[in-house]
Structure 1
Amino acid sequence: MDPLQLCAVATFVAMGAATQRVTGLGFALVSAPLLVLAIGPVQGVLLVNVLNLTTNLLVMAQTWRKIQVKRVLLLAIPALCLVPIGRQVALYTPAAPLMIGIGLVVMAALLAVPWLRRTRVFTGWAGAIAAGGLSGFMNVTAGVGGPAITLYAVGIAWEHTAFVASMQLYFGIVNSGSIVAKGLPSLATMDAVIILAALAVGLCAGHFGARRIPVHRARQAVFALALGGAIATVMKGVLLLW
């Protein structure tokens, strides 16, 4: 990466890590469209998967006592079943349409969550299977698997602290599956060191922010950042098509 590109990627990663620590789901929503914008759809989503897995493991080390393993497995098994299909879509779709698709998926997911929040669209065993499968497919193609799980959490009134902890195990499993399916991103050693340092800075900021920032304010910030990144990603994809 050139210095400007690396600076942008490090900033996006730090922002995503901070929101992940506060809300449990912010990393992919914030960083995925922005990283796709910065380094392209394939490498961007691969980097999101790897960094999200790293974030999951680090946050899980602090919150593991609250994890609800049975509920996580109910979501993770159907998610892993859809990973191979998502891999085919991600690897064999041309760059410009893939960027447009990722941006539109993120925008649709962001707008669907508040709109469907009152309908309790995912409940029970069937809801868990549907939410997990949709989340797994979106995670491997667009790097964003959180909105479907959020709708499931709303449907079952999942307690926030347990939800945040459980999501680290869930996305740890799903991101591991995505990495096994697609491989690792191509990064120079120094680029990787700087990006991991940015991740650590973001997690530290989020750790302190979690005690001071109301959850609803953090979620509003996640929504605004993710929506802006998604719109920019769609615009770049359209320009590439031209």
Structure 2
Amino acid sequence: MKGQEWYQADEVAEEYDDKRFSKGGQLIDRREKAAVLEAIMPVEDRSILEIACGTGRFTVMLAAQGADVVGLDISTAMLQQGRRKAQGRELAGTLEFLRGDAGRLPFPDDHFDTVIAMRFFHLADDPEAFLREMRRVSRDQIVFDTFNRFSARSMYNWALPMGSRLYSKSEVSELLAKTDLTLVEVEDDFLAPYGLYRSIPNALASPIRALDTTVGGSPVTDHFASVSYWNTRLR
């Protein structure tokens, strides 16, 4: 995995949510959570594994909605942030945080209803191997996102501390075929890059987001979207 040392640093974990999901980044957080919920609802009583759960944005949300969730991450510091986030929350389901390697998941075959991985595949050095491992422990559904090759993100990708792997639609389709996954739906979003939203106040980001959503609704502009949300099922 790219950037493991950077990602596991205490100071990165402490500042992770504030840097990415404050100001205009709140719009990104809201949209990503909506994409996950839309893909797997209803979540009540479903067993869900989140790969690279980070600070627990999705795990806590899903447990609050009644799912039985395991959040797995390689970073102890990130997991600590997730546990703090869950403290004092009323959770209708269950929530457990585990440290582990996404390439060697510590679970038996067909253990979870759904496996999700958000903000993960742009760091994967062997995406097919990771997807196969996710498929092994799922008995029904896999949901993940990718950053796209023909998006504005490609212009500043070189400046990111760990670099990002960018995907074309055909590349992801090939990965799904190789791992025996059937595409249920793919949603494309964010013509404007994430970095723009994170750098400006919400009051400025909101009208940009409204324009982005309107223009991005065209099949032509989907090709240039920053991110795609993939909802897949086992064959």
TM-score, scaled relative to structure 2: 0.31
Bigger helix share? 1
TM-score, scaled relative to structure 1: 0.30
